[in-house]
């Protein structure tokens, strides 16, 4: 392909810009950089996982044109898998908790996913979307994408997200922080960066209501509180996060994350979702901890328009006891 021309959808996934977050950088005296994953064709970091998982299944001879791939997802992985499946000639069946944003539900239907909504249930419940999707894949004789335990997810992030961050910063990076759903992003980036410089600090950012903060700090997965963020937080350690080199963890309340979501939109014109807000808030805490002159990279996982009906809706925000930004009224 000629330089500058993407070879179809697949060629347009990844190679996202690293954006300097100006106010966060100025406030801390550090350079805080956000990897603009909302610029992927499907609008999130999970396009990378979808591509990595489907490519791996093809290489293993599990998927051939006309085949079907099934996944359980908070939405973004379903979008990534469905777009790549469309481009490569497969069908996708997507199982998703009905509590996820209407925007993700509508988008999945729009792009042709065979969408199965299920009631939200904890992981220990057989009705949890992950277990429903695994059983459905078996019943259909289809490929099960299995993003939580399929290590193609983590390897894809090491080969692309992590390698890109190293190249884009020229190796001048002191710390990386992000939240975990499957852990593919954090573990894959950790693998790539630590292989090049073991001194780079890797920090897990966790929402309230997730057990991962306690797991990193004291090997205790117990959970307290809740979060309005989607796609992140865990009550267990997924296969993709197992054995990841993680130096520290931070627990970020929703109000602190949303402050960054609204601030970046109002003052820098950057529209990000809730998990990206957690990541930026964590990057600021890491910057304060390290002191001026350091470079911290984080992930802007997806865009705000995916959560218009929630994070930018005064009625929803009020119902959760969260502040509404002034331009949205009351």
217 catalytic, yes or no? no
CA–CA gap between residue 51 and residue 57 (Å, rounded):
10
| Count of residues touching ligand PMP (by CB under 6 A) | 20
- Strand 143-144 to 68-72 pairing: parallel
Per-position x/- string for 110-149, each x denoting binding to ligand PMP as judged by CB under 6 A, each - no binding: ----------------------------------------
100 near ligand PMP, rule: CB under 6 A? no
Measured between alpha carbons, how far is residue 312 from residues 58, 117, 266, 282, 294 in Å?
A: 40, 23, 12, 21, 32
Binding ligand PMP by CB under 6 A: which of 35, 46, 88, 285? 46
232 near ligand PMP, rule: CB under 6 A? yes
Of residues 67 and 231, the one with the C-beta less far from ligand PMP: 231
Of residues 67 and 84, the one with the C-beta less far from ligand PMP: 84
CA–CA gap between residue 144 and residue 73 (Å, rounded):
12
CA–CA gap between residue 64 and residue 236 (Å, rounded):
33
Binding ligand PMP by CB under 6 A: which of 184, 207, 233, 303? 184
Binding ligand PMP by CB under 6 A: which of 273, 277, 303, 304? 273
Query: What's the token pair of residue 29?
Result: 């005296």
104 near ligand PMP, rule: CB under 6 A? no
Query: What's the token pair of residue 308?
Result: 């218009």
40 near ligand PMP, rule: CB under 6 A? no
Binding ligand PMP by CB under 6 A: which of 95, 145, 180, 261? 180
Candidate segments 94-102, 118-126, 174-182, 192-200, binder of ligand PMP by CB under 6 A:
174-182
303 near ligand PMP, rule: CB under 6 A? no
- Strand 31-36 to 68-72 pairing: unpaired
304 near ligand PMP, rule: CB under 6 A? no
Smallest gap from residue 300 Cβ to ligand PMP (A): 9
Burial of 111 (0-12, 13-18, 19+ CB in 10 A): middle
Candidate segments 14-22, 84-92, 226-234, 317-325, binder of ligand PMP by CB under 6 A:
226-234
Contact 143, 59 (CB under 8 A): no
CA–CA gap between residue 291 and residue 13 (Å, rounded):
34
Nearest-5° Cα angle at 183, 14 to 112: 55
Smallest gap from residue 60 Cβ to ligand PMP (A): 21
CA–CA gap between residue 112 and residue 93 (Å, rounded):
9
List binders of ligand PMP among 48-77 (CB under 6 A).
Answer: 74, 76-77
CA–CA gap between residue 39 and residue 303 (Å, rounded):
8
Smallest gap from residue 58 Cβ to ligand PMP (A): 21
Which residues are identified as catalytic? 46
């Amino acid at each position: 392909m000629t330089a500058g021309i993407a070879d179809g959808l697949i060629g347009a996934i990844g190679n996202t810009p690293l954006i300097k977050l100006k106010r966060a950088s100025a406030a801390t005296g550090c350079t805080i950089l956000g990897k603009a994953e909302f610029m992927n064709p499907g609008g999130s970091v999970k396009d990378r996982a979808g591509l990595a998982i489907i490519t791996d299944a093809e290489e293993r001879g599990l998927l051939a044109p006309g085949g079907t791939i099934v996944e359980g997802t908070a939405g973004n992985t379903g979008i990534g898998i469905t777009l790549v499946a469309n481009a490569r000639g497969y069908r996708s069946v997507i199982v998703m908790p009905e509590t996820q944003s209407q925007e993700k539900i509508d988008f999945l239907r729009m792009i042709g996913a065979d969408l199965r909504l299920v009631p939200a249930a904890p992981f220990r419940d057989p009705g949890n979307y992950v277990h429903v999707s695994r059983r459905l894949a078996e019943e259909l004789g289809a490929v099960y994408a299995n993003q939580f335990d399929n290590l193609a997810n983590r390897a894809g992030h090491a080969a692309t997200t992590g390698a890109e961050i190293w190249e884009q910063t020229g190796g001048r990076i002191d710390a990386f922080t992000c939240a975990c759903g499957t852990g593919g992003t954090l573990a894959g980036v950790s693998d790539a960066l630590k292989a090049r410089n073991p001194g780079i600090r890797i920090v897990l950012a966790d929402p309230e209501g997730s057990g991962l903060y306690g797991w990193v700090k004291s090997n205790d997965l117990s959970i307290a509180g809740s979060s309005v963020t989607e796609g992140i937080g865990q009550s267990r350690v997924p296969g993709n996060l197992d054995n990841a080199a993680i130096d520290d963890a931070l627990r970020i309340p929703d109000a602190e994350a949303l402050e960054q979501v609204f601030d970046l939109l109002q003052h820098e014109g950057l529209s990000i979702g809730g998990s990206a807000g957690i990541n930026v808030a964590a990057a600021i805490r890491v910057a304060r901890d390290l002191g001026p002159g350091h470079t911290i990279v984080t992930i802007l996982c997806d865009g705000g328009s995916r959560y218009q009906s929630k994070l930018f809706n005064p009625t929803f925000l009020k119902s959760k006891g969260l502040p509404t930004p002034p331009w949205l009224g009351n």
